[in-house]
Amino acid sequence: METKLKELGLTDEQVKKAQEILKEEINGKYIPKERFDQVNNDAKATKAKLEELQKSNPDELNAKIKQLTDDLEKKNQEYLAKERDLLIDNQLSKAGVRNIKALKALLDMDKVNIQDGNVTGLEGQLKTLKDSDSYLFNDNNSTFGKKPDDSGRREPMSGAEEAFFRMNPSLKEK
């Protein structure tokens, strides 16, 4: 703008005065081109998004939401079933069950409940099964699978053996 005014033959002082007058005249009535372009581009983007949303079918979206909700519920049920099985298997292992799968077939699982990570309704059934089918449980008095200790030794050590093992504890019989 300044160069055009100078081309018309105005002096620097006249150019500054003209610019001040134009600035006062334009102030509040017009918006700068940069701001206009920004608002215009935002409006175009918003219009494109609106057109895209209008193309989508609400029934399709609702059907997809329902499908995703159903899938989530199914996965949640699978997770809860696995958690229940793991908690029950853990309790059966602690009870000394030899074959968990076989014993589970004898349990009334409708009476077994899981609340806050605790298994209820299982102990009574296990007690009944221990009485009726004890072969399904490990015998705590059995030495099967256990290492013999010194107390299970049949004959006492001689004095020489005792002295030897006292002097060489790392060689002590196991």
Is the Cα dihedral 70, 76, 82, 87 positive or negative?
A: negative
**Domain extents for the chain?**
2-55
137 and 98 in contact (C-beta within 8 Å)?
Answer: yes
Strand partners, 97: 137
Backbone angles phi, psi at 155, to 5 degrees: -115, 140
- Rounded to two decimals, the pTM is 0.46
In order along its 174 residues, the chain shows pLDDT tens digits of 778 877 878 888 888 888 888 887 777 677 778 888 999 999 999 999 988 888 878 888 899 999 999 999 999 999 988 988 999 999 899 888 989 898 888 988 888 888 887 888 888 889 999 888 888 888 765 544 445 554 555 566 777 777 887 888 777 655
Residue 15 to residue 6: CA distance in whole angstroms? 7
Q: Which residue has the tokens 């700068």?
A: 32
